[in-house]
Structure formats: C-alpha cells, structure tokens
Structure 1
C-alpha cells in the first residue's frame, strides 16, 4: 500500500493542511523546523487508521487517500460521518463507491493495510498511546487463550503495532534461529552491515505477571517455597505466551526459580519478586526452542511473552566480526544499532502483507555514516525481507545526511505560511548531488552553514567589498577582515572583479542570525541569484 494524499483540519496546529506523497516511492521523508507539526502529522495519520479500524469517531476532519491491492481508497469524514470510498486505481473519484461498514469489515484485507507500525525515538508516549487500544485488545484476547486459531485471528485483527527497541532483539533471535526458507540472505546482510556473525547465548528472566492473583494460594505472606512453586509453574501462563515459556523452560540450561529485589519506581523501596531464569546456552538450544515455529511465528511468540508482562530481563549475546571478547550483548550495541535492527526486523515480518510505517525521527541515534545510508539500508532490506510494493515508509527527520541521496519527490518540507499556518511543499531542487552544505541551505533553508561569528565577518567583508569608494578606514578594516578570513581558509573572493560586481548588485549580503527560509523563499533566492549571475557574465562577455 502507498499513501497518496492526506488532508487534516483541526488536529493540534494542522489547520486545513494538505500533503501529497509520491506513491511510486518506497519512502517519504518529512522535514521542517521545530513546531511545524511533523510529529503531529504522524500522529494524525495513525489516529485516522486507528479510528477507522475500530469504527470510532475522530475528533478532527480528515481525508486520507492511498492505493492498495489495485484499489484507490479514501478514508474521509468531511461529509459529517466517517466513510470509506473505493474505486479502481486508474479510475476517477467521481465514480467511486462508498462502502457500508459491514462490507468494509468483511473485505478489510482488500481495502485496509494489514499492519500500521508506529515508532518515536524520543521518550514521549503521545504516538505510542494511539496504539494502546489495539495492544490491549490483542493482550486481552490471547492472555488466557490456548486455542491457536483464536490467537491467530487476534493477531490478524491487531492492525496497529507500536515498535519498541526490545523487538529488535526478538527479531535478531528469530533470524538466527530460523534458516531462511525464501532464499533471502538476511544473515549475510546482518554480517555485512552490522558485523553480527552469529548467536552466542541468551537469558530470559521471567517474572510474576501483573495478572497473576497470589490470593488464590491463601492469605498471608507467601513462603519462598510457595513463590518457588509458583515460578516453576510459570504462574499458570496460558495462550501463546504460556506455550512459549514452557518450551523455554524445557530447552533452557539449568532453569531455576529466583527471588529478585526489583525497583520499578525510584520513589519506592525495592520489593521481592518471584522470578524464573532460563538460559539458552548455544545455537542448538535456540534452534530446538524455535523448532515448531516459522520465523514470523517465533517473533510473535516472543512478543506475546513480552505483552503478557512475563519478562523482567531479556538478554541476547551475539558474536561479532573483529571482536576478541567472543560475545556482545544486545544491550551493549549502540542505541542506533538497536533501533536499526528493530525497524529492519519489523519490515521483515511484513512479508506478503500491506503495511504502513510511521516513523518519527528514527535516525536520531545513528552515526553519520548510517544516517547517510539509512534509507539505502531500508530499501535494501525491504527488497530482501518483504514485497516492496506492499510497503510505504513515512518518516520525519532533522538530518540532512538522511535525505542527501534522495530525489525531491521523496521529500516534503513543512513550513509556516504568512498567516502562520503549516503548509507542505516539495523542495525546488533534488537533494541528490548537491552535497551536504547545499542540502542545509537549499532544502532545510539555513541562511548559512557557518557559525555566527564567522558569518558576521563574511557579512562585514561583503558589505565593505561592495562599496565603490571606500575610505582609508574602510580599506584598513576590509584588509583586516580578509586577512582573518584567509587564516580560516577563505579565498579572497573580494579581489575578483566579477564577484565585486555581484556584491554591488546583490543587496542582501547579511546572513548571520537570520531565520530559516521557506521552500518558496529558497527557490526565489536561487532563481534571483542565477538570473543576476547570468546577467553579469553576459555583460562581461560583451566587454
């Protein structure tokens, strides 16, 4: 599925806001100044899909167009009630049909994405909270359910999925445990890109879940023997989580009950907690544990244990290329590596499904090399791990390196108009090929890439250089500034006659402490500069 157009009116600062995407591209990157509404847009899109799926009333006006399975679909409430409008992808909207709710629910797989993923790299729960209802509904259905068909249906109905870093370790286990049956060399990708050469060992410390009722064992304080028995019985866990932890216990090396002192809130004292430790000693034990599952099912089982509140700690150790220690914990990987594994892993479980990824600043913790290749990694992994045409990845970013290799149709810039209303625009130039510095000025709208002090010197030099008849004091000051700039590595452009002509003709020579340019302003400035340079060079050639 691919998003085509989103209209939002009345969600936070998004007023009569419209954005168009190029549905032919796998990724769409949204950039803009802080406060323009990038995160709000991600939240608004997630809210629309949540409310349509759960048949809820949305508190703002919206219209979302996308293509899926050969159909054009429009989710809208602009006529006063929520509607799903469908037509052939090549047909006009004028001949579209409005689906009734029963028809939509009966054919939801045809008209609605199987999975909508959300992720935010920061600490706020604003985006995550939109996914809570789907998470709780899934949890309520599977926590005590042993019928696997019922659990599979519950998994299918959970169309909104919030990504968390622990999912990266789950997916890493699944990739190492299950040889790929689709002839896709995912393990080679992990080795080449992340240096992960194999699985070393793993430890799951399970805990008494919040749903366990200890009062059934009688009143009073439980003895250690009672706590131990309850832990050995894995607190009576049922459903896919119960099935998995019993297998985990079976294949673990010396599984044992523990009593831990845990602090979940620094304002409270440590409390005793019933726990059960399961150590997976090597790759063979992992393969035995994963035996009954395929790759996706193994991930789903691990995630079921997590949302069933059974995990206190989950540690995975891997072997890495050129690491003499022998093993590296997943928690010891950089935050960027863990986030990358999470996103790449979840792309892989989408194989054969229509999925939309809504990622808010997922590149925040990546080093510059990975920021520069982040979208290439996603594209490569999407081709390896899924059907690329079934995916659309919409992400926000503040990083010029992330978009440096993109065409302009893959980028949208949010900026305020004259009335302060947020608008969306395509850059006037492709980021690809213009370099990092030009990306900052021409795409992000920075007036300069220099620090303020240096830019003020350049501004002073340019102001003096454009004066036809300078005083002795002005000449001395210009010489002083030029010498200082030379020591900083700047060329003496002011000695070039053509550059002097440009400065005289170009009135706007001060760039320090200026606000960023909007896409329209950047385009106008570029056109004006090109026109002036063309005029000056033409005049010079005549002489």
Structure 2
C-alpha cells in the first residue's frame, strides 16, 4: 500500500480537529517513485504530534479491522461500536491492489478512500487507475456476511499486515495491538469449544515485542537463504541458529464457568504440532507438558521448509502459540482493556509464569562471530544488547514480509542505538527489504525519530517536519522540501539547527563553560592565558575553536 493523505476530524491527543497531512501524490513522477525504497520519517520537537499520527493510524486500522471481521468476542462487542472510533472522524486515502491482482504496480492499483464522520459508521470507496473524473467511484461494503461466516468485502482493500513497534513502550500506540491479541485468543478459544478449524488470526495487526521478535528471528533463520540473511551477518555478525527448545504446557480450555467440560488448549493446532514433531531432534510429552528440542542443521531447516509454507507461515503459527498465553487474563480485565482509551492499561494485564504460560522458547542459542574468537560462538539470544534486539526487531520483520501489503508503524526505533548504528539504520532497512525480495510498492514504512543521522538518510519529500503553534496549539506537518530544508546527505549539525532548533554541536553543560568567558574583562595577555586554561579540559569542537580564535585576536591588543 501507499498512503496518500490523512485527515483527522476531531481532536486526537496533540492533533487538532482539522489536522491533515499528505504523503505520496498522484503525479506521474511520484507514482514512478513508489516502487523505490522511501520511508517517511516524522521529525520535530517533543510534543509536536509525531507519534500521535502513528497512534491515530493504528487506532483507525484497528477499528476498520473489526468492522470487517467475521468474529468479535462477546466481551468485546459490549464496547465496540461501528459508529464510534478514537479518533471518531477521519479520512484516510491510500493506493492498494486487491488480492487477486498478479502485479503490485500503480497502474493496477485502486485509490481507497475511507471516511468516517462523527457518530457515523466508516464508508469505503475505491477508484481505479488513472484516478481521473472518468473513473467511476465504487462503494465497498464494510459489513461482514449476515451469518458471520465471511469477512466484509472491504477486507480485501485493507493492508495484509499492520506492524507496530515502539522502543519507548508507547502505550497509546500499543493499545490497539494489545486489544487485538486478547480478541484473537477469544477467537481461538471459541474455535476450540465449537470445534472449528483455526489456521491463522483473522486480524492483520501484529505488535513486535521481545517475544514476537524471537519468533520473527527464528522463522527467518530457518527459512531464508544466505543472501537474504546477509544484513544480519553484516551488522550483527549472526552466522546462524544453533539450537532451541519449545516448551508447551498442556493446559485446558473450559467450556463454561463451572469448568465441568474442557478441551485441550492445543486441540485446534494438532496438525501443526505433528509437523513440529517431524522437525524436532527429540521431543517428550506427558499429560501436563511437551517439550521439543531442535539442533539446527541443514536437515532441520529442510524439515521446517517441507512442513511449513514459508517463514511468514511459521511466524503466524508461533504468533498463535504466544497469544494462547493470554489464557490467564480474566474477562473482567479484558473488558477494562477493551474500554480503555490508552492511559491506564499498563500493569493491568498479568504476566504469566512459566507454568501458567502455554508456550515459550528456552535455550535459544545463536551462532555469532565475536572479534578475537577463531570460530563463531554460541550465545543465548537474551544475552544480546538492547540495541542488537532493536535491530533484530526491525530487520527481521522487513526480511519476512516480502510480497505482502504492509504498513509499518515504527515509533523511535533507534532509541538504544549507538551513533554508528543510527547513521546506518535507514541503509540497513533498505538492505533488509531488498534481501527479503518483494515490491516496495507493497510496503509503507512510517517512523518517528529525533535522530539527525536518520533524517540525513531520508529524502526531503519523505521527511515530515512537525511544528506546534504555541499561540493556537495547532500542529502543522510539512515536508522538509516544502520548508526548503535539504535533508539527504546534510550534516547532523545543519539538521539539528533547522529541524530541532539546536544550533550547537556540543551539549548545554559544556557550552556553558565556554559562555562563562567574559571578554569584557580580558585586559592583559595573562587574562587571555587564564581564559584558555579555563577551557583546556573541554574536547575539540567548533564552539571551542571559535572561542580560541577570538582570544587569539585579543593578544596583540593586550600587548599595547
């Protein structure tokens, strides 16, 4: 998909009613650029609404997903209203190809427009290429079938996958995804009780946390070839996967409150469990638990590739297993989360113990090249640094998505990176998407960032600068190009000055040391020498050089 425009019709967080922003245009030049890698980077000072746009899009597509869904749990239905969304009025436009199109190119795409007015249900329309007045605008229903046995026709025009990630644990961004996990568990639970088949979650929302990141990494290491995995080896020195264990606690799902009737919680996943056993080096099971051990070699990889369709199919299976850990969440807590507007869910969802959870990985050993070691060494995945885990989060999902219409919402993904990694983050994203194959036309990447390094690797048409009017409180979002700011290849000092209004190359505390020099009281050569001594402890910088140059200019005058 490719976003065209977003309008918010009522106040949402920092965004005022009437806020709007443009992404791609429908000019010939812009559409020719769409198949290229061009992430949108949201930049600006704190409180200017960058993250709020990501949050709004997550909330909008969450609402749309459950407007078109054929399944909604009873507890969720109490709080879900098709005519009520947060934000409750919006217009979002994007290009998408319906799933029966063979090629994902602008000429075969439809312009999808979804409009919601205050207190009314959302409405979807599509218009075929070339999107001119001659092309008919067609309404597409967002209502599922009467018997809830099929999703609404509009599902076909929503993204296949919507990925959320926040390195800063943005609760408002994650809330739609948290609700989604609880809904998907209830969907699975009903399938067990009514003995329906269950292949994968109906919703497209996926939130990448530490657990999901493990599943992503494992899936790509088992499926993808060396060329695809080159970015992992180059940046993180990961050579491969040595071994891992899967732990499955064989809990039961109770059919009623009295708990008189129950079924094995893994009942609907029995075919996939049998496939896992075929891939395992060894396995054990009794009436309470099952563990499967995998020593990974080429035969192990082939076994997984023979039994699962793709890395994404394997990931979706792991996703289901992880979502079964929501079994411990009580219905009263679910209702509280479903009704939450995004401020008070933190700490309310219980964290299961190893015995309470249905599934978790153990002894997850990665082969990694470490400088000074003659051969790759085995490291537990949990021993990786926060920055390495962040790299894995974003790289892994890009390697795996391939030919899927995707919207990636990344909130400050570089928080734990050192400056070197921040400088190469955009290039690594590009390398990962190229290595994963597929078409950039299918993927839209939106990221918020305070890093001048990241902004310096983005084209000015794709850097959206957010500014807040202190008098009215309104937010503006304009491209760097509109503001005559050249970003691509621009120095971090220049970007810091023009976008973040910081015109120094050093920190405030050290700069204060320089500002303490009182030039009005420097009368003699000795005063100059003492002034220079007072800043000897400071490192090299442009600011220090300017002070020293000014002091040197005073020496002839003090000698008179």
Superposed pair shares fold, TM > 0.5: yes
**Deviation of residue 356 (structure 1)?**
0.5
Change (3 A) 1:134 1:197: same
- Cα separation, 2, equivalents of 1:403 and 1:429: 11
Q: Report Cα offsets for 1:240-273 as digits up to 9, x if no partner.
A: 3x333344345545534699xxxxxxxxxxxxxx
Corresponding residue of 1:46: 58
Corresponding residue of 1:76: 115
Bigger Cα displacement from structure 2, 365-374 vs 425-434: 425-434
Helix, strand or coil at the partner of 1:186: coil
Asked whether 1:316 is paired with 2:364, we answer yes
Asked whether 1:130 is paired with 2:158, we answer no
Asked whether 1:12 is paired with 2:13, we answer yes
**Deviation of residue 437 (structure 1)?**
2.0
Corresponding residue of 1:303: 319
Residues 65 and 73 in structure 1, CA contact (< 8 A), matched pair in contact too: yes
Corresponding residue of 1:263: none
TM-score by length of 1: 0.73
Asked whether 1:85 is paired with 2:125, we answer yes
Change (3 A) 1:212 1:10: same
- Cα separation, 2, equivalents of 1:412 and 1:85: 27
**Deviation of residue 454 (structure 1)?**
4.4
Larger helix share, 1 or 2:
1
Residues 67 and 89 in structure 1, CA contact (< 8 A), matched pair in contact too: no
**Residue of 419, 429, 432 corresponding to 2:485:** 429
- Cα separation, 1, equivalents of 2:278 and 2:521: 90
**Deviation of residue 87 (structure 1)?**
2.3
Helix, strand or coil at the partner of 2:181: helix
Change (3 A) 1:327 1:448: same
**Deviation of residue 390 (structure 1)?**
0.5
Residues 423 and 454 in structure 2, CA contact (< 8 A), matched pair in contact too: yes
Corresponding residue of 1:391: 443
**Residue of 148, 151, 159 corresponding to 2:198:** 151
Helix, strand or coil at the partner of 2:416: coil
**Residue of 260, 268, 272 corresponding to 1:239:** 268
Helix, strand or coil at the partner of 2:111: strand
Q: Report Cα offsets for 1:330-384 as digits up to 9, x if no partner.
A: 2122222223223233233432221111111111122322211111111122122
Residues 278 and 303 in structure 2, CA contact (< 8 A), matched pair in contact too: no
What RMSD in Å do the two structures reach over aligned CA positions? 3.8
Change (3 A) 1:58 1:145: closer
Which structure 1 residue ranges, 5 or more long, are not aligned?
Answer: 220-229, 260-273, 465-469, 498-543
- Cα separation, 1, equivalents of 2:181 and 2:452: 34
- Cα separation, 1, equivalents of 2:185 and 2:359: 15
**Residue of 352, 364, 377 corresponding to 2:403:** 352
- Cα separation, 1, equivalents of 2:19 and 2:306: 50
- Cα separation, 2, equivalents of 1:256 and 1:214: 30
Residues 453-472 of structure 1 aligned to structure 2 (within 5 Å): 453-456=509-512
- Cα separation, 1, equivalents of 2:111 and 2:397: 25
- Cα separation, 1, equivalents of 2:195 and 2:229: 29
**Deviation of residue 122 (structure 1)?**
2.6
Corresponding residue of 2:276: 248
Corresponding residue of 1:510: none
Helix, strand or coil at the partner of 1:357: strand
Asked whether 1:101 is paired with 2:148, we answer no
Residues 254 and 260 in structure 2, CA contact (< 8 A), matched pair in contact too: no
Which structure 2 residue ranges, 5 or more long, are not aligned?
Answer: 26-33, 68-81, 98-108, 145-150, 326-357, 554-560
Bigger Cα displacement from structure 2, 284-293 vs 415-424: 284-293
How many aligned positions are there?
458
Corresponding residue of 2:392: 341
TM-score by length of 2: 0.71
**Deviation of residue 133 (structure 1)?**
4.2
Corresponding residue of 1:117: 163
Change (3 A) 1:4 1:460: farther
